[in-house]
Amino acid sequence: MSGMVKTAVIAAALNKSRKGVLERAQREGWAFVKKSGGMEWMEARLPLDVRLALAEHGENRPKPEALKLCGESFMPATDRERHTAFLRANLISEWERGGLRKEDFITLYNSGALNPHLLKLLGKVALRTFYRWEANLKKTGLDGLTPHYSSSSGGAGESLSDSEKSLLQRFWLRDSRPAIAKAFRLLKENYPATNCTYQTAARYLKSIPQAIADYHRLGRTAFINKHQPFMDQNIWQYKSLDVVVSDHHCLDCVVMYQGRLIRPWVTTMQDYRSGKILGWCASVNPSSLSIIVAYYMAVIQYGIPRKLIFDNGRDYRSELLNGKTAKAKVCTPSKLNEDEEIYIQGLFHMVGSEVSFTMPYNGKSKGRQERFFGVLKEYFSKDIGSYVGGDTRERPEDTELYYKSVNGKAKRNDVPLWDTAVDALGSVIAYINDQMTSNGKGMDGKTRSRVFEENLPADVRQADRETLRFALSKGELRYVRNNVVRINTDTLYYHPDLVRYSGRQVMVRSMLTTDAEVQICDLSGRYLFTAIAGYLFEGDDLAAATKRLKSAQKHNLLWLAEMGTGEVKAAPEYDTMVQVAANKYKQIEPVNINKFLAPPEEELPMAAGAENTNFKTEPSAPKRVLINPIDAEPEAYL
C-alpha cells in the first residue's frame, strides 16, 4: 500500500528509538494500518514535523515550501505551546486530505466522527478560528499556529501604569516583609484613581524576579546565600593544618550561670581538610579572648596553622589578634620629637599564622564549620535537657517554663549548671572528632580525627611556650614617668632600668593571663625587660615601702654617677664663655671673673705682733689690660 511508513523509518528520521516513536504515536493518535509485520503509519496523516523529517531523511518526498518548522515565535515558545501548534497543523492536514468543505469538516470534527483522539487533545474549534489558522499556516508556517500563553506585551500587570507599579514595589519590597494585600491597600490609599485589582497587583508582584524580591525583603545575607554564586573548593588539595576556620556559635539550650539563665556561646577552631575541632572555648559573651583561648588550645595540641580563615566579624578584626599601627615620638638627626609610625604585632602574626577574611556572615564560605554546628545542635543542645530551639518553629512548648510558671505549670529548675554543661560540651566535641564518621568530600566514611592524622604533614611547625606566652599579650605605647609606666590609670609597673627611658615612649605588652607584670620593649618591638606591678605601692607596711623607694632612688643616682664617669671633661680654661672669648683673642691667661663680680675686700686690723713678722710679700704681677680688637693697633698682636 503506497503512502505507508514503517516505525523503523520514522525512528531513523527523528533520531529516536522505536519505543519513543510508539509512545508519541499513542499520545498524539497517529493513524496506522495493522499488518503481519507490525504497524505501518499513514504518511499523509503524520504530524508535520515527522513528514518534514522523513523528507530530509532521503525518502524522496517533496518538502512543502510553504511550511516552516521554526521561526521567531515557534522556537522561543514553551513545550506546551509547540505541542499545541503541532496539533493545529494536524487538524489542517486532516482537512486537506479529506476533500470536504471547511464548514462540513469542522462540523464532523467537533462531533467526534473524524478523529476523536485529536478532538480530546485539541478541543473543539470554531469555523472562524479554523480559517485564521489555515491562513496563518500558509503565511508563516508553524509560527502562525503557535499560541502565546507565556508572553504578552507587558508581562504580568501590563495594564498597570508606571506609577502604579512603582508604588506597589515601594510598599511590598521592604525588609518588614508586608503581605501583598497590605501593599495593595496602600496603593489604593495613595492612588485613589487606580483601577488595579488585587489579582492584578498579586500577579505583578509575583512576577518580580525572585532575586530582587529576596534582596529587599529578606536582606543581603539571604540574597547572597540563595542567589550569589560561590566557589566550589578543591578539598583534596589541602593538608591538615593548611587551613583552619573559626567562628562563634550560640548554642540552642540554656544553662544556669551565676544565678541567671543564659544561652552559652562556643568559639571553635576547625581544620578545613578533616573537619576536626582543634580548639574550642565556651563563653557567656564571645570576644577576641575566646578566640585566643581556642587558638591557643589548637596550637599547643597540634601545631601552628599555616592559614586562618575568618569572616569579617568585629571580634576577628581585633587589633589584639591582627596588630595595629601607632605613632611614636622619636628623636632623629634632622628633627626633634618627630612622629614615626610603628607597627605593634598581633597574636596571629607573632605565632606565625596568616589570616584571610571572607564575606561577613556567609555560611557557604565555611561550609564544614556550619555543618559541625548543626551536628552539635543535634547531639548536644537537644540532649542536654534544656533545649530551646533555634527559632520559633523549633521551640518546644515548655520553653517558657525555664523562666516562669505558665498556665498553672511550675517553673522548671532542672537546668544544667555552667560547669556541667561545659564538661559535657567537651565530651561531645571529642565524640564527634573521634567516633562519628563522615561521607563528605574527601572523608570516605572515616572519622575526623583519622582523616586529620592521615593528612598531617611531617613538617608541622610547633610553638614553644615562651613564644606563646609572649604572644598572649596586648601591645600599647606608654610614656615612662618617675621610673614607672602606668596601665589602666591605676596600676604602676616598675623596673630599675626604666630610668634610662624616662620621658620617652616604650612599647608595653600587657599579659593576658596575669596583670602582675608587663613586658617592656623598645619601639621596634624588641624585648628589654619585665616590669612588675605594685613595687612602689605603699600598702600596709610603710617601712618596707620606704625602704624599696630609697633603694630605687639610690639605683638611679648610681646610674647617673656611672654615666658621668665616661664623659669628656672641658679644659679648665674653657669653663665659661668669657674664657672661650679670651682664648680666641690671644688672652692666654684666664680671666678671674670673680673679682669683677665680688665686692671689694675690706682691710682687716692686724693681730698684735703681726707687724713684727719677717714674712716678705712678693711683688704682684702686672695687670693685663684687655684691648678692644676693633680699636687695637697691629702691634698689639705681636
248: Cβ–Cβ under 8 A, 6 or more apart, which residues?
265, 266, 267, 286, 290, 313, 315
Number of domains comprising the chain: 5
Indicate the DSSP class of residue 417: B
CA distance 127 to 228: 52
Cα dihedral 412/413/418/422 (nearest 10): -60
Can you read off the three cell numbers belonging to residue 7? Answer: 516505525
Q: What is the pLDDT of residues 575-633, one digit of tens each?
A: 667 666 777 665 555 555 555 555 554 444 444 444 444 444 445 555 555 555 555 55
Contacts of 416 (CB under 8 A, 6+ apart): 255, 256, 384, 385, 386, 424
Instruction: Answer yes or no: do 266 and 326 share one domain.
Output: yes
| DSSP letter string, 302-348 | H---SEEEE-S-TGGG-HHHH-EEEEEEE--SS-SSEEEEEEE--HH
- Between residues 406 and 7, which one has the greater pLDDT? 7
Same domain as 182, residue 107: no
Provide DSSP, 94-157.
Answer: HHHHH---HHHHHHHHHHTSS-HHHHHHH----HHHHHHHHHHHHHHGGGGG---SS--SS-TT
pLDDT at 446: 92
Residue 329 falls inside a structural domain: yes
407-422 pLDDT, tens digit each: 777 778 788 899 999 9
Q: How far apart are CA 546 and CA 539, in angstroms?
A: 11
For residues 19 and 130, state if they share a domain: yes
Main-chain dihedrals φ then ψ at residue 354, nearest 5 degrees: -80, 145
Q: Is residue 67 part of a domain?
A: yes
Phi and psi at residue 599, to the nearest 5°: -70, 155
CATH of the domain at 352: 3.30.420.10
Give pLDDT tens digits for 499-547: 888 878 888 877 766 777 887 887 767 778 888 887 777 677 777 778 7
- Residues 139 and 13 both lie in one domain: yes
Please tell me whether residues 310 and 438 are part of one structural domain: yes
pLDDT, greater one: 447 or 538? 447
Q: What is the pLDDT of residue 127?
A: 92
Domain-embedded: residue 517: yes
Mean pLDDT value across residues 467-486: 75
Tell me the pLDDT band of 571, cut-offs 50, 70 and 90. low
d(CA 38, CA 312): 71
Query: Of all residues in the chain, what percent carry a pLDDT higher than 90?
Result: 19
CA–CA distance, 352 with 299 (Å, rounded to integer) = 11
3-state secondary structure of 567: coil
334 belongs to a structural domain: yes
How do 338-344 and 446-447 pair as beta strands?
Answer: unpaired
Beta carbons of 448 and 275 less than 8 angstroms apart:
yes
pLDDT of residue 614: 47
**Residue 114 sits in the same domain as residue 221:** no
287 and 271 in contact (C-beta within 8 Å)?
no
Is the separation of the CB atoms in 44 and 55 below 8 Å?
A: no
Q: String of b and e for 550-587 (b: at least 16 CB within 10 Å)?
A: eebeeeeeeeeeeeeeeeeeeeeeeeeeebeebbeeeb
Q: Which three cell numbers stand for residue 151?
A: 508572553
Q: Specify the CATH number for the domain of residue 168.
A: 1.10.10.60
Same domain, 299 and 208: no
In terms of domains, do 551 and 588 share one? no
Same domain, 203 and 77: no
The residue range of the domain holding 592 is 570-597+623-638
Residue 46 lies in a domain: yes
Look at residue 614 and tell me if it is in a domain. no
- Among 263, 195, 270, which Cα is nearest to 238's? 270
Residues 6+ apart with CB under 8 A from 625: none
Q: Identity (one letter) of the amino acid at 588?
A: I
Q: What is the identity of the amino acid at 516?
A: A
Contacts of 213 (CB under 8 A, 6+ apart): 173
Model pLDDT for residues 378-396, shown as the tens digit of each residue:
999 988 888 888 777 778 7
Q: Are residues 221 and 242 in the same domain?
A: no
Spatial separation of the C-alpha atoms in residues 250 and 373, rounded to whole Å:
9
Mean pLDDT over all residues of the chain? 78
Single residue among 207, 227, 247 that ends a domain in this structure: 227
pLDDT at position 533 is 82
Q: State yes or no: pLDDT of 124 exceeds 50.
A: yes
Last residue of a domain, one of 405, 424, 454: 454
One domain, residues 130 and 60? yes
- Backbone dihedral angles phi then psi of residue 510, each to the nearest 5 degrees: -80, 130
12 CB neighbour count, 10 Å cutoff: 17
Question: Contact, 545 vs 492, CB < 8 A?
Answer: no
Residue 391 in domain: yes
End-to-end Cα separation, the chain, in angstroms:
153
Bridge partners of 248? 267
Whether 294 and 433 share a structural domain: yes
pLDDT above 90 (res 179) = yes
Q: Which residue has the cell 505507508?
A: 4
Between 455 and 69, name the one with better pLDDT.
Answer: 455
- Section 246-256 average pLDDT: 90
Surface-to-core class of residue 526, CB atoms within 10 Å of its CB (0-12 exposed, 13-18 middle, 19+ buried): exposed
**Is residue 498 within 8 Å of 530, Cβ to Cβ?**
no
User: Could you tell me if residue 610 is inside a domain?
Assistant: no
Reference 591, options 601, 600, 582; nearest CA is 582
